[in-house]
Chain A
Amino acid sequence: MRALFFRDLALALRAGGGFGLGLAFFLIVVVLVPFSVGPQSALLTQIAPGVLWLGALLACLLSLDRLLAVDWEDGALDLLATSPLPLEGIVAVKAAAHWVTTGLPLVLAAPVLGVLLNLAPSGYGVLVLSLALGTPALSMIGAFGAALTVGIKRGGLLLSLLVLPLYVPTLIFGAEAARRAAEGLDSGTPLLLLAGITLAVLAAMPFAAGAVLRVNLR
């Protein structure tokens, strides 16, 4: 299990692994927002938490189709399936590796990009906290989507269509927590609900993803 985790990490970090692409995408989305809505800092302050959450979500989505597809194409997934580790575990480990290479950098970069969007000072702590709580769920749900579409050629667009509606609760609670904190309100409730969703997803989703992957490997 640990070996698989470090293998995925190493593959992602090496040249051609696509590490940092998500981060760059996040940056570009955030830079494009002032171009599209105008540079007034009051407006940017108001929409900053939502834009940062949306950008992180899209950046997470971007790298999902590589999550299982690469191993599927070269047959590594078949080998992994015959290993003693159950498929549920494999999917969970892959999602964890995806989070470390995609979600974690996003969480760390969010405050810097918050400066670009003129985020209110009270919002930084909760923004980072909400992203840290929410992005693991995004990776795990994404792993389910990737497992669903792994056998389909050019499944990338379909993957977005399937995964984005599943992201709705996470996005709502995460962005709501960040928004409330930025406006100086109490953000405890949405944070707790967000944490609840993430925990439930981490507990239940590997089984759904494992079942789906088993069907696809049949």
Chain B
Amino acid sequence: MKRMSDLIRKFAGRVKRSVNLRMLSVSIAFLAGSIISGCGQSGVNIDNAPYVPKIVVEGYLYCGETVGNIRLMRNFPIGSPVDTSTLYLTPSVNDVQATINGTPLSFDPVTQTYFSRQISVGYGQTYTLDVNAVVDGARLHTTSATTTPLEGFRIINRNMGSFSYNSSLMSLTFLPSPGTGFYAFSIVPDTATTANFIYNNVFRNKLDSADVAKNLNDYEFNGAIEDGINSYAGTAFALPIRSDETWFYGKYTVVGYAGDSNFKDYVLTAPSVQEPDGNFHEPILIFKGDGIGVFASAIADTATFTITR
């Protein structure tokens, strides 16, 4: 310790003897400036990201059906109140003109959707949506085209049966459509409440009913995807239903879609626009002009199963 104190004293003495006041003041000023600029906390405020109005489309064409349930909407600036009364674009308010392959779409004011009973959707056909509308005073225009899958997709075991929770036997079997490698499945219980929630699940077994109620939607709506499969194999594919897709006791409805490339691009990219480091990127939305959302086609089929207590 004595040696250390001698050392410090010696050092201080040396500095004192040799110090040049002008240089010392310059050095201190510079050091202080560097420290000050190197101090502090940086705030982050992203509220002013520039907003651009868009025509938002949510439209699916199903082979074997007529065109219906097409929603034309608008987007909203993030971080400001959403006026849901202006969400849907209507012919009267927004001067909407919408066609598919040149056939005008009609507007249903009750469901706020567009339809055409004149168009029966066929397999392997291309349909082009064309929309004109006025949003925020700006005349917007967009087009998008979809090519429907070829015939073939169907669920083989539409009534899958009853299973105990976490059963490894829960499996849906389907035949693919030739040329379609993407299949999406919605797995949703017919009833989803805190009363029929599976509290002794294998993932989160410390949940109480308040936790479940808070995130009920997230537990209720689940899905599975098979992508890139060999659609020409001529054999059936099995889709195991996993435990993290069934959070409630009771009956479930599985809707399977053999989706076209627009369907695939939307499902795989639109909900995943944030990267691991927080940065955002653009999804693949197949629209020309001022459109976003999804205009896709699919073959749909339905199955059911039950989770017993």
Answer yes or no: do A and B interact.
no
Residues of A within 8 A of B (CB): none
Residues of B within 8 A of A (CB): none
